[in-house]
């Protein structure tokens, strides 16, 4: 991130930028920074964007070969193309002969670092990964945002806020705007303010549901499921999140058994370090075989729904009943 900021400050740009990773909020922020620094916002002649996995590579190369029209640079933005996983070899080979006036910005969630295109970006540009932010970084970011509004937040209120929002920065930003408006006449944000206005993220309810499953509180687990349905959450999304939760439990349990520390476990599992202790508590309720079977059953139920063999709502109910029974 600092590299991009420095490039913009010095007005010395790499030919290609690849922004990738889980933290979509930061990716969007830096995508827009680069876009505005490389091309004028209203320059439709020299800025072109492509999105999706049906991109025509030959069309992109032809465009890249075209000289800019009364400008220093031609800028091409490509988002969510999946070219860094498959189909990007031709573009990777082309990167070696990019015209001096053409600049690329790629935005992807996932990449294959072994791909020809990824390696080409490494040679002629800069690939920056935006992973989930650490607890310390989030605390500084939220604290700084609140401080700029002339307010403070108690430690208890902050912990309650993050517990509700999760660590997705886009969601935190949205909920923080609500919280700041709600506390407009207050100088200190307290836990009751957070409780009154902050919306609990679905992933937190799913965490609570798996916690209920792990402790064999079947009725409570089902109540949480029906709460999510009442919030118009699709059963298949709920099943996906439950299965994902069990995948995290598998990582936590395996790495814990191998003697890894919580920081390493958090990095591998893709969760905050403080959450590892909670996952470890859940994981104790299951054997490794049970966790692996839960993941496999999640996939099986999803396939049954897709092929019409089972109703989606019933699939999730069966999963919850199966793993929460005493």
More reliable by pLDDT, 232 or 304: 304
Residues 236, 206 share a domain: yes
Distance of CA 199 to the CA centre of its chain: 18
Residue 114 within any structural domain of the chain? yes
Buried b (16+ CB within 10 A) or exposed e, 170-181: ebbeebbeebbe
Residues 180, 157, single domain; the answer is: yes
Shared domain for 237 and 288, answered yes or no, is yes
Asked if pLDDT for residue 118 goes beyond 90, the answer is: yes
- Looking at the fold, whether 313 and 207 belong to one and the same domain comes out as yes
124 and 207 assigned to the same domain: no
249 and 276 fall within a common domain: yes
Counted domains in the chain: 3
At 188, which CATH number?
1.10.8.60
Residues 54 and 109 in one domain: yes
Are 231 and 300 in a shared domain? yes
Boundary (domain end) residue, out of 129, 153, 179: 129
In a domain, 1, yes or no: no
Measure the CA–CA gap between 236 and 239, rounded to whole angstroms. 5
pLDDT score for 272 = 76
**Listed residues 80, 109, 129: the one ending a domain:** 129
Q: Is residue 5 situated within a structural domain?
A: no
What percentage of the chain carries pLDDT values higher than 90? 67
pLDDT score of 274: 77
| Final residue before a domain boundary, out of 102, 129, 156 | 129
pLDDT, one tens digit per residue, over 274-310 is 788 889 988 998 999 999 999 999 999 999 999 999 9
Range of the domain at 44: 15-129
Domain-located, residue 190: yes
On whether both 316 and 303 belong to a single domain, the answer is yes
In a domain? residue 294:
yes
Residue-level pLDDT at 49: 93
Residues 262 and 176 in one domain: no
Same domain for 293 and 262? yes
Closest CA to 112 of 81, 140, 153: 81
Angstrom distance (rounded) from CA 238 to CA 229: 9
In a domain, 78, yes or no: yes
Q: Is residue 161 part of a domain?
A: yes
Model pLDDT for residues 84-109, shown as the tens digit of each residue: 999 999 999 999 999 999 999 999 98
Burial class (CB in 10 A: 0-12, 13-18, 19+), 190: middle
SS3 per residue for 99-122 = CCCEEEEEEECCCCCCCHHHHHHH
CA separation for the pair 162, 139 (Å, rounded): 9
For the domain that residue 212 is a member of, what is the CATH number?
Answer: 1.20.272.10
Which CATH number covers residue 51?
3.40.50.300
For the residues 198-216, what does the mean pLDDT come to? 82
Tokens of 283: 């994981």
User: Does 216 reside within a domain?
Assistant: yes
Q: Identify the pLDDT of residue 201.
A: 76
Is pLDDT of 42 > 90? no
Q: Are residues 184 and 258 in the same domain?
A: no
Mean pLDDT (the chain) is 91
Query: pTM for the whole thing?
Result: 0.64
């Amino acid at each position: 991130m600092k590299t991009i900021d420095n490039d913009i400050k010095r007005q010395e740009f790499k030919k290609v930028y690849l922004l990738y990773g889980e933290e979509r909020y930061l990716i969007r922020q830096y995508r827009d920074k680069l876009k505005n620094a490389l091309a004028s916002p209203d320059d439709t002649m020299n800025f072109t964007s492509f999105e999706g996995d049906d991109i025509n590579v030959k069309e992109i190369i032809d465009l890249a070969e075209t000289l800019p029209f009364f400008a220093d640079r031609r800028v091409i933005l490509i988002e969510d193309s999946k070219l860094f996983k498959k189909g990007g070899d031709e573009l990777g080979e082309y990167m070696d002969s990019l015209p001096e006036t053409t600049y690329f910005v790629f935005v992807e969630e996932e990449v294959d670092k072994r791909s020809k295109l990824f390696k080409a970006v490494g040679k002629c540009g800069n690939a920056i990964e935006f992973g989930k932010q650490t607890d310390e970084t989030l605390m500084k970011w939220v604290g700084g945002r609140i401080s700029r509004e002339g307010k403070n937040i108690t430690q208890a209120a902050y912990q309650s806020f993050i517990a509700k929002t999760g660590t997705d920065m886009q969601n935190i930003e949205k909920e923080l705007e609500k919280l700041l408006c709600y506390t407009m006449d207050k100088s200190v944000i307290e836990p009751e303010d957070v409780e009154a206005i902050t919306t609990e993220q679905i992933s937190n309810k799913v965490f609570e549901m798996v916690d209920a499953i792990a402790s064999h509180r079947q009725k409570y687990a089902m109540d949480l499921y029906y709460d999510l349905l009442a919030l118009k959450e699709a059963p298949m999304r709920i099943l996906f999140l439950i299965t994902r939760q069990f995948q995290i439990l598998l990582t936590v349990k395996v790495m814990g058994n191998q003697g890894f520390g919580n920081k390493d476990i958090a990095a591998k599992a893709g969760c905050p370090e403080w959450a590892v202790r909670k996952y470890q508590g859940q994981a104790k309720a299951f054997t490794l075989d049970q966790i692996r079977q839960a993941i496999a059953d999640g996939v099986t139920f999803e396939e049954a729904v897709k092929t019409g063999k089972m109703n989606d709502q019933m699939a999730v109910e069966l999963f919850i009943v199966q793993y929460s029974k005493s």
